[in-house]
Amino acid sequence: MIATIQYNSRKLKIDLSQPLDISIPLTGKSTNVNAWYLDPPKIEPEIIDGENISVANGAVVNFNTITFNPHAHGTHTETVGHITEKVYSINKHLKQFFFLAEVITVAPEKLGEDYVISKKQLQFAIGNKKRKAIVIRTMPNTRDKLSRQYSNTNPTYLQEDAAEYLKTKGVDHLLIDLPSVDKESDRGELLAHNAFWNTSGKLRLDATITEFIYVSNKIEDGCYMLNLQIAPFENDASPSKPILYKVID
């Protein structure tokens, strides 16, 4: 199904029958993607009056309780409330859900003992394009990102000036296939988070960061319409399901 949508002053055609899901499913298994030193999430039947409430155990319904942390256990979208004393709710501050996005692929650079994404790399990949959302796929891009255990592995992160560049360029929604835009252990500086959300000036309350995505190698770099779906949590972050639709020339 081809749809023509008005986006700002442009008319764009997208194929609604070809959604490209770049979220990582949340499971109750030990192989669920994980970070920040937590146990795996749990998806278990509730126990009521000593009875296991699941159809397999004789109940008339399945009635699972899910225990997880959105920052540690899968694809999630967060607001500046993630790093401020005042908790700005993702449900209150993300009020639009469709954005013109550019998918880019970056091979992180070695910096001492770290691997980083630099401003220069982003400038080269984005060029003169004007996008409200940037989707960053890092190399190597293997399917073990769907189940990787990131704690104590010092994953790739964004340099401060790279996040500053995205803010200055007018990018409101940053999506990346890493557990964080910042270094795993950085003494609490959170340089990229702070730069992107402009915490030293006027807070960018409507800007979001989405982490723990997975962009299949079948998805080409280029222009897409992004549908950024969240659950209505009154929290700084929510599990999310970003969907891309290829913009048809």
The CATH architecture that domain 2-23+73-248 belongs to is: 3-Layer(bba) Sandwich (3.50)
CA contacts within 13 A on the Cβ side of 171 = 26
Which pLDDT score, from 0 to 100, does residue 10 have?
81
Which pLDDT score, from 0 to 100, does residue 177 have?
98
Which pLDDT score, from 0 to 100, does residue 88 have?
98
pTM, 2 dp: 0.97
3-class DSSP assignment, residue 205: coil
Which pLDDT score, from 0 to 100, does residue 75 have?
98
Task: Tell me which H or E stretch contains 77.
Answer: strand 76-78
Q: What is the largest CA-CA distance in the chain?
A: 62
Which pLDDT score, from 0 to 100, does residue 3 have?
82
**106 vs 116: CA distance, rounded Å:** 10
Per-residue pLDDT of the chain (249 residues; tens, 9 = 90+): 888 888 877 888 999 999 999 999 999 999 999 999 999 999 999 999 999 999 999 999 999 999 999 999 999 999 999 999 999 999 999 999 999 999 999 999 999 999 999 999 999 999 999 999 999 999 999 999 999 999 999 999 999 999 999 999 999 999 999 999 999 999 999 999 999 999 999 999 999 999 999 999 999 999 999 999 999 999 999 999 999 999 987
- Give the tokens for residue 125: 């990949």
Which pLDDT score, from 0 to 100, does residue 222 have?
96
Which pLDDT score, from 0 to 100, does residue 134 have?
98
Strand stretches in 60-160, DSSP E: 64-67, 76-78, 98-106, 109-111, 114-117, 133-138, 157-158
